[in-house]
Amino acid sequence: GAVVSQHPSRVICKSGTSVKIECRSLDFQATTMFWYRQFPKQSLMLMATSNEGSKATYEQGVEKDKFLINHASLTLSTLTVTSAHPEDSSFYICSAERRTAYNSPLHFGNGTRLTVT
């Protein structure tokens, strides 16, 4: 089955530093990947849509200069949280859309727990 891998699973960083999170589709090519943020006991909120070879599309209220997204290949998208602050502490989850299968279900990674101290 389709597998989406995220790395790291947990990261702790100091305020002001930057953190990069990777999202990989392991057994399929993903034209589009999605980045979500989930605060404790809340739902998933879409942050941005990442398209291979083009600029990401950000949801309203999400700062594109703070959350840098790169989708350099059909199997890898990265999210970089720049100048992280404690309020950026959250659970970040990616999902990937299979390139060749029309209307195939979305598969999610296991998330990255970011804690900013």
Partner 1 sequence: GENVEQHPSTLSVQEGDSAVIKCTYSDSASNYFPWYKQELGKGPQLIIDIRSNVGEKKDQRIAVTLNKTAKHFSLHITETQPEDSAVYFCAASGPPTGYSTLTFGKGTMLLVSP
Binding site for partner 1 (CB under 8 A): 4, 6, 32, 34, 41-46, 49, 93, 95, 97, 103, 105-111, 113
Amino acid identity of residue 75, one-letter, is T
DSSP codes joined into one string, 51-110: ETTS--EEPTT--TTTEEEEEEETTEEEEEE-S--GGG-EEEEEEEEESSSTTPPPEE--
Residue 86 beta carbon to partner 1: minimum distance, rounded to whole angstroms: 20
* CB-nearer residue toward partner 1: 36 or 67: 36
* CB-nearer residue toward partner 1: 52 or 82: 52
Residue 117 beta carbon to partner 1: minimum distance, rounded to whole angstroms: 19
Residue 11 beta carbon to partner 1: minimum distance, rounded to whole angstroms: 14
* CB-nearer residue toward partner 1: 67 or 83: 67
Residue 46 beta carbon to partner 1: minimum distance, rounded to whole angstroms: 7
Q: Is 20 helix (H, G, I), strand (E, B) or coil?
A: strand
Q: What is the dihedral of CA 22, 26, 32, 36, to 10 degrees?
A: -50
Q: Is 24 helix (H, G, I), strand (E, B) or coil?
A: strand
* CB-nearer residue toward partner 1: 78 or 111: 111
